[in-house]
Structure 1
Amino acid sequence: MSETRVFLLPDLGEGLTEAELVSWHVAVGDSIEVDQPIAEVETAKSAVEVPSPYAGIVAELHGKPGETLDVGKPLISVTPISSGAGVSADDAVPAEPAQPAVVPAETELAEPKPANAEAEAYREEEKAGSGNVLIGYGTPGGHAAAKRTRLPKASVSVLEPAETRPADKAADDLTLLRTRVPGKLGAVISPLVRRMAREHGVDLGELHGSGESGLIMRRDVEKAISAPVVEPAETKPAALVKPVETKPAPVVEPAETKETQGRDARTGLAISSRTPVRGVRKVVAATMSRSRSEIPEATVWVDVDATGLMELREGMKAGGAAVPGLLAFIARFVTAGLKKYPELNTRIESAEDGSQEIVGFDGVNLGIAAQTDRGLVVPSVRSAEKLSARELDAEIRRLTDVAREGKATPTELGSGTFTLNNYGVFGVDGSAAIINHPEVAILGVGRIIDKPWVVNGELAVRKVTELTLTFDHRVCDGGTAAGFLRFVADAIENPTTLLADI
């Protein structure tokens, strides 16, 4: 019987050191395939499925749902199946008398392969595939349902993976980095496809896969080899891109609450529960604490007559056109304001000698604060200054949806340069928000309500909201912050004029 292999919890990106085990997709005794999803884990960034790099029988599950596991610790133990066991009659390949039996690997085209040297080389690369992938991620396609089977009594020799040359492995790893789909643990290219592309000089980074989640298949490489010219993929504006349909996020049980009969020494009251601070809540707590301790912040605010913006949207609705949400218009004004006042779209970096630099950016990644069941997260619209109000509206909705499903990628959650926070949806007028470190400013928008307002010397009822800007006093003074806030307020009050200029 083959030696049991232990798969360690991989680094799930962004240097995260732990993850909460949400659920197992397999059980002890199940037969699993290479790259089959075996468990769902939740990190401080998102919920992801972890694929197995090994095929065989599940020998042990190292953890229970709800437990927090450290990266690098055992996740699952798998006992490999000898190549003659667990294969259906349709899939089996007759073994030659003096040769070890080889189980044919599943190909993209689902065609049986002859038991020749090429087929054996393919099998060897497929066996080595997941072991070569970075941070434990596997290749897609291993989504077969788990099936229970008994370990075979007799063991048949299995071909070991062929040794990979260092240069080829380095090239494969580089290709993998360029072609892995963010947020999709399984969306990587199989070793066979990578080898075929390398031998024919095909740049996988330029291909658009036809497989699930954009996976580059063998047929995509063959098409690129046969085609003399590869036309660039058509790029559509963000507003016209239909959000990717995703499966509903699995129900996650509330954080484990430990009942206790103890009594609090300070208050004298009985302690009813203890809730561990972990996951997103742990990251939010750390970020907010660091922001408060490092950033000398100041806050300015202004009441704004939003009647003009509301009337503009009503007029667009009457014309039958698709109308962006109010937040999309405000986001458009914010990006224009940051172009005029770039000091608020920066970051402070400290050197080892204690010196500091203000780092500016050529572009705006606009963070949108979103409240989810997992806590407050801030996915960002990349290069938001290049998008129209309609395009911003589509991207904001998409990011909000994936964030609430726990499927936002680390890049989407960690690349912002300025944050827009719409806390008016909670029915409040204002808030001195905490800056999302390492950014240097955050703009909050309160609810829009009817208020008495003086218009042309007369009292009138207008739609009024409050804008609140919290900024890092190290990067600018009150004049810059007030100028930016006034720019956005004027744009809301006179949207038709300012939209024509920006």
Structure 2
Amino acid sequence: MATALTAQSGTGQKTFLLPDLGEGLTEAELVRWLVAVGDTVAVDQPVAEVETAKAVVEVPTPFAGTVAQLHGEAGSTIDVGTPLITIAEVTPGDREATRGAAREATPGAREVGASAGEEYRTEERAGARPPSQPSQASGSGNVLIGYGTPAGTAGGRTRRRKAAAASSAPASVTAAPPRTTAPEQAVRVVSPIVRRLARDLNVPLSLVSGTGPHGLIMRRDVESAGVTSASQGATSASPGVTSASQGVPSTAEVDARTGLGVAARTPVAGVRKAVAQAMVRSRTEIPEATVWVDADATELVRLRADLKRRDPESAPSLLAFIARFVLAGLAKFPELNTRIEGTGDGGQQILQFDGVNLGFAAQTNRGLVVPAIRGAHTMSARQLDGELRRLTALARDGKASPADLTGGTFTLNNYGVFGVDGSAAIINHPEAAILGVGRIIDRPWAVDGTLAVRKVVQLTLTFDHRVCDGGTAGGFLRFVADAVEQPGGVLADL
């Protein structure tokens, strides 16, 4: 990383700069702060939750001390290398004074403070991990952008006790009333995406019943609760409020160009901003060409059905088989597993890889992302199927790391799941090609001079014309199509 990770902010203060969170990303959106000014933090403790173009991640602090300043508000965009948080170092004298003040505080005040702190901590860690804590002799193991965890560092968030205020509080305040009801069950949420979705839909998580393991609240639970809440709100809406079908309310914004009401304004940020920038760059820099072919997938569908009948749990998906055929094709036509790079003197060169990291397009609640199966060329169809399922689940749950969503050398796009027959996809910059797979449908097909109904799929290859000519692209696409039509012969050689 070119920029410094820290900056001195004055005597006893250090400022942590937003680091490069992977793949040279230049900015991140601040989702929320995990600490507040005045909090005491430990080394490697997460202090902020940020959303990059690739994933939502927690950013740990490399410093211990007291939070002096938070640089930025939730929802704002912070550039890499600019201040994120300023930490005031805690001296040994400050720590001893804090301990002494805490010992002098009245029991009632300590009980009130502990109750509030416990409620805060319970909400933050609800459902995130088992209550067991790492040993004090070893670090927590969290490592991000070059920072390790020193031994003997305790994790966890603590609040500074305002001991003086507590000791001078009236007697009626220092004595906490006895608990008369059982403590409430902590909200079971792990994914920050689920929490953010709940905030966007104004759905209280405490009222949502989780359908995941052990009552874990999933995205579908929040979406279902949001639909229910919206329908109830529509039923009880005021008669003075008009719907879109009834006309635009008099207080709504009107677009000057069309004269229509403006229903919403959505900032282009996060994944949507990254996708937009990548697509523009791909169209601007890559002279692309597209070739396509229809393939008879009847034998492949039959093969997969036979495997599923014999072993329902581990039969590879059709996409896993096609991925295996693609990898075999790239071994024969390596020109498509490349990328164009500048040489620094104004020239260009073609970088060819020893292996394949196979990317695949996955539609998620955050938008379209492309997880990459690293070392895919070494995997069988069963292994590819496992990785496709694992990475898809991580992406859709918002748990995929930047490393999971970067590093691809060739992309496979299965748009057939959306009921689409064909598409000229945009290359995932800076790769050189992308293969699209349409839906498999029954179509009339000539077999040995006789018309028959067969399972047909359209395969579309979009490629960078700088790295190869049409003969190479056509040869690769024909190889994959032949493998789809006669899978047994190809799989026998893999």
Instruction: Normalising by structure 1, report the TM-score.
Output: 0.67
- The one-letter code sitting in structure 1 at the alignment partner of 2:310 is G
Q: Hey, what does 2:23 align to over in structure 1?
A: 14
* 2:354 equivalent to 1:362: yes
Q: Hey, what does 1:487 align to over in structure 2?
A: 479
Q: Hey, what does 2:70 align to over in structure 1?
A: 61
- The 1:139/1:427 distance shift into structure 2, 3 A limit, reads farther
* 2:327 equivalent to 1:323: no
Question: Cα offset for 1:283?
Answer: 1.6
- The one-letter code sitting in structure 2 at the alignment partner of 1:149 is R
Q: Hey, what does 1:344 align to over in structure 2?
A: 336
For these two proteins, the number of residue pairs brought into alignment is 376
Aligned-partner SS, 2:96: coil
Looking at structure 1, the residues matched to 193 and 366 of structure 2 have their Cα atoms a distance apart, in angstroms, of: 13
Aligned-partner SS, 1:284: helix
Q: Hey, what does 1:411 align to over in structure 2?
A: 403
- The 1:353/1:3 distance shift into structure 2, 3 A limit, reads closer
Looking at structure 1, the residues matched to 21 and 331 of structure 2 have their Cα atoms a distance apart, in angstroms, of: 35
Deviations 1:36-86 (A, max 9, x none): 222211111211111223333334433332222233333334444423145
Q: Hey, what does 2:282 align to over in structure 1?
A: 291
Q: Hey, what does 2:43 align to over in structure 1?
A: 34
Looking at structure 1, the residues matched to 344 and 267 of structure 2 have their Cα atoms a distance apart, in angstroms, of: 34
Aligned-partner SS, 1:413: coil
- The equivalences for 1:41-440 within 5 A come to 41-81=50-90, 82-86=94-98, 109-110=135-136, 142-150=154-162, 247-251=190-194, 253=196, 263-320=254-311, 322-440=314-432
- The one-letter code sitting in structure 2 at the alignment partner of 1:394 is G
- The equivalences for 1:459-478 within 5 A come to 459-478=451-470
- The one-letter code sitting in structure 1 at the alignment partner of 2:158 is A
Q: Hey, what does 1:446 align to over in structure 2?
A: 438
Question: Cα offset for 1:354?
Answer: 4.0
Aligned-partner SS, 1:329: helix
- The one-letter code sitting in structure 2 at the alignment partner of 1:447 is R
Looking at structure 2, the residues matched to 389 and 55 of structure 1 have their Cα atoms a distance apart, in angstroms, of: 48
Deviations 1:131-182 (A, max 9, x none): x9856675696542433413789xxxxxxxxxxxxxxxxxxxxxxxxxxxxx
Aligned-partner SS, 1:470: strand
Paired residues of 1:62 and 1:75 also in contact (CA < 8 A)? yes
Aligned-partner SS, 1:410: coil
Aligned-partner SS, 2:481: helix
Looking at structure 1, the residues matched to 289 and 147 of structure 2 have their Cα atoms a distance apart, in angstroms, of: 44
Q: Hey, what does 1:456 align to over in structure 2?
A: 448
- The 1:139/1:465 distance shift into structure 2, 3 A limit, reads farther
- The 1:406/1:313 distance shift into structure 2, 3 A limit, reads same
Question: Cα offset for 1:11?
Answer: 3.0
Q: Hey, what does 2:243 align to over in structure 1?
A: none
Deviations 1:2-57 (A, max 9, x none): 84544333332333232111122223343332222222111112111112233333
Question: Cα offset for 1:482?
Answer: 1.5
Provide structure 1 residue ranges, at least 5 long, that are not aligned to the other structure.
90-106, 112-121, 154-245
Paired residues of 2:22 and 2:403 also in contact (CA < 8 A)? no
Q: Hey, what does 1:204 align to over in structure 2?
A: none
- The 1:422/1:133 distance shift into structure 2, 3 A limit, reads closer
Deviations 1:175-209 (A, max 9, x none): xxxxxxxxxxxxxxxxxxxxxxxxxxxxxxxxxxx
Looking at structure 2, the residues matched to 498 and 453 of structure 1 have their Cα atoms a distance apart, in angstroms, of: 22
Looking at structure 1, the residues matched to 271 and 384 of structure 2 have their Cα atoms a distance apart, in angstroms, of: 26
Paired residues of 2:52 and 2:270 also in contact (CA < 8 A)? yes
Question: Cα offset for 1:460?
Answer: 2.1
Instruction: Give me the identity figure in percent.
Output: 62
Question: Cα offset for 1:451?
Answer: 1.8
Paired residues of 1:66 and 1:256 also in contact (CA < 8 A)? no
Provide structure 2 residue ranges, at least 5 long, that are not aligned to the other structure.
1-10, 102-132, 166-188, 202-250
Paired residues of 1:10 and 1:135 also in contact (CA < 8 A)? no
Paired residues of 1:7 and 1:77 also in contact (CA < 8 A)? yes
Looking at structure 2, the residues matched to 433 and 133 of structure 1 have their Cα atoms a distance apart, in angstroms, of: 34
- The one-letter code sitting in structure 1 at the alignment partner of 2:376 is A
Looking at structure 2, the residues matched to 284 and 73 of structure 1 have their Cα atoms a distance apart, in angstroms, of: 24
Deviations 1:312-361 (A, max 9, x none): 11111222262011111100000101111111111122334443322222
Deviations 1:385-406 (A, max 9, x none): 1111011111122222222233
Paired residues of 1:22 and 1:252 also in contact (CA < 8 A)? no
Deviations 1:87-131 (A, max 9, x none): 599xxxxxxxxxxxxxxxxx96447xxxxxxxxxx9xxx9xx99x
Q: Hey, what does 2:172 align to over in structure 1?
A: none
